[in-house]
Structure 1
């Protein structure tokens, strides 16, 4: 396994400073990102670039998000230690590890078996294992473990998924990118079973979240 060296840690510190310059101001989130060896989640050919604010291709024609996007979505969640957090789209596991580093009880779903196996292996190796890691359809959420204090969706959805709203606790927050080819980032605050308050936070581009498309 690749190592996490002083050189990597130095590059991480530079990345954290860059994220601060770009407007990430939650020190708890920044500290969590600074713990995570991002170069271990991507192909070795990109290792020297791992701490630039860039997305990279990963397995199954997916991508690992920009560190800024990971930090921004995480900051919007306002996670408190011990909260139950549902992540839709484990991907490489990078975002998952940040949530675990924040002390959340993380429940994460991935529909691509190849990515599910990769992320499970790497998260175990770096000791940032989520509470539950599931291979399945993210559109369904995890009703048997609901309600969740926070929900984060790491793929673009065309419309607000009703099943995920149902699994959000009252007073809970969901962070979700909505749109077809490009997305707007939204937060959804659940005020009661039928009342939601949404806020928009600009343009982003994610891979699409596909319904009924679990891939072995």
Structure 2
């Protein structure tokens, strides 16, 4: 069915208003101030990375399921809230010459934002069907500097490294120390670390043989699959 031109214009205006409100009312108040990132949030069409069944959630401050499974969010098969995705990226201070590894591609939205900030992005997704979705979304968005690979980021070798930045797009119970050797000197790893009810976004910066760690804010987020859990006491 062909919609009248006025209807198409009204729909476009409503979408752009929703995007503007997302940035101004959700993202910026969460201490996201990087001008290049803010520009990416306006130009990368989040709705194109949102499953059609959940299009109405594209700009809302909620986690968005990526599959029809009733437990999709609990299983980590979701998009984070826009403010969470943006703040994680903001706090890693990504520069135009840097190479980024993302673990947990999802629909590809975070990778699309990263592509606007970095030289190139490798993103790993453990679920083949999500990896294929992300490839299509990223191709349609013109993100030519992003590569999507089906892989378990907790275990797979990373011959493309080392990287300037590693971002885990999901939470882990313990910091994955096995990823630190894949950072360049001066590189940063960002991950949401901990267990409910307390998790913290944690940034680890590598300086020679030393690391510096800071945890600037708290958030509870769904798990990335495959990563180690903390040892449990038994009696």
- After superposition, the CA RMSD in angstroms is 2.0
1:12 CA displacement: 1.1
TM-score for both structures, normalised by structure 1: 0.89
* Equivalent residue runs for 1:111-150 within 5 Å: 111-140=126-155, 142-150=157-165
Q: TM-score, normalising length from structure 2?
A: 0.82
Q: Distance in 2 between matches of 1:131 and 1:25?
A: 24
* Stretches of structure 2 lacking an aligned partner (at least 5 in a row): 1-7, 228-235
Bigger mean CA offset, 134-143 vs 84-93: 134-143
The CA distance in 2 between the partners of 1:210 and 1:189, in whole Å, is 24
SS in 2 for 1:144: coil
Shift of 1:179: 1.5
For structure 1, the 5+ residue unaligned runs are none
Conservation of the 8 A alpha-carbon contact between 1:88 and 1:141: no
What is the number of equivalent residue pairs in this alignment? Answer: 209
Contact 1:153–1:177 under 8 Å retained in 2? yes
User: SS where residue 206 of structure 1 aligns?
Assistant: coil
- SS of 2:23's equivalent in the other structure is helix
Q: Which stretch shifts more, 85-94 or 141-150?
A: 141-150
Contact 1:70 1:95 in 2 (8 A): yes
Distance 2:82 2:54 in 1: 14
Tell me which structure has the larger Cα radius of gyration. 2
Offset of 1:161 from its aligned partner? Answer: 1.2
> How does 1:136-175 map onto structure 2 within 5 Å?
136-140=151-155, 142-175=157-190
2:175 pairs with 1:189: no
Match of 2:38 among 30, 35, 39: 30
2 CA distance for matches of 1:132 and 1:49? 27
Q: Which deviates more from structure 2 when the two are superposed, residues 114-123 or residues 48-57?
A: 48-57
